[in-house]
């Protein structure tokens, strides 16, 4: 997987409740930095994102980045291994923010496909935190069978509780995602239940939407 990804413009942000809030020169959500953002992929680990199956890109309009998976599948039942019921991916990104700006995550969109037999269920779970911070923000979404369709969910932070990254500090942004399929009372002898974070072409994007504001000018 490439180590550094570039984009013309800036993006980045993290969910609420991870960093100490500070005073800023402008109100939030009304400014997007004009300069380039650089995202360095520090680590990508997990059964849901084997080497070479996850990629990160920054949007041209500087308001989001996407994480794309091509082999993120959890399953139970016929043809599944005992460990396949749960898959996870831990992504650690170093986000180089343009000087004079701070960022926060406003919302995150996930999507994929699920086939759940009657009696089975599944869960998509995600957590977010900055390096060096003990507090983690977690969100989860549950699905029940029978289900056979695309799925899409959004984790959205309360604007009133968004906490911004410290000005002038470089912190790794950590994203932990998990897919879990529970057999429940479903027929696991002849049937398979599964959940993917992908699409029909084997390529799905998870989008992280950012909010920005300017840091106070140093005197």
pLDDT of residue 141: 96
Average pLDDT, the chain: 76
3 state SS of 43: strand
Could you read off the pLDDT of 26-78 as tens digits, one per residue? 344 456 777 766 767 788 899 999 988 888 777 776 667 788 899 999 999 99
Place of tokens 């957590």: 127
pLDDT of residue 191: 97
What mean pLDDT comes out for the span 90-96? 82
pLDDT of residue 47: 96
Q: What is the DSSP string of 89-129?
A: EEEEEEEEPPTTEEEEEEEEEEEEEEEE-TT-EEEEEEEEE
Does the pLDDT at position 122 exceed 50? yes
pLDDT of residue 205: 67
- Distance between CA 97 and CA 38 in Å, rounded? 7
Does the pLDDT at position 25 exceed 50? no
Which of 203, 206, 213, 186 is CA-nearest to residue 53? 203
DSSP 218: P
Position with higher pLDDT, 170 vs 62: 170
**Confidence grade of residue 127 (pLDDT, cut at 50, 70, 90):** confident
């Amino acid at each position: 997987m490439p180590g550094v990804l570039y984009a013309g413009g800036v993006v980045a942000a993290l969910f609420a409740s991870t960093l100490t809030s500070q005073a800023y020169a402008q109100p939030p959500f009304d400014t997007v930095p004009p300069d380039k953002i650089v995202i360095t992929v520090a680590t990508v680990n997990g059964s849901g994102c084997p080497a070479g199956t996850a990629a990160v890109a920054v949007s041209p309009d500087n308001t989001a980045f996407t994480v794309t998976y091509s082999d993120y599948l959890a399953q139970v039942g016929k043809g599944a291994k005992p460990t396949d019921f749960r898959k996870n991916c831990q992504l650690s990104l170093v986000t180089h923010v343009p000087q004079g700006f701070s960022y926060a995550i406003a919302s995150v969109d996930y999507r994929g496909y699920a086939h759940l037999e009657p009696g089975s269920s599944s869960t998509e779970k995600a957590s977010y935190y900055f390096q060096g911070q003990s507090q983690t923000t977690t969100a989860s979404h549950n699905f029940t069978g029978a289900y056979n369709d695309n799925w899409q969910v959004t984790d959205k932070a309360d604007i009133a509780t968004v906490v911004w990254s410290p000005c002038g500090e470089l912190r790794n942004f950590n994203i932990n995602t998990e897919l879990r399929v529970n057999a429940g009372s479903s027929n696991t002898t002849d049937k398979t239940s599964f959940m993917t974070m992908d699409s029909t072409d084997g390529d799905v994007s998870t989008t992280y939407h950012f909010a920005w504001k300017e840091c106070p000018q140093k005197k």
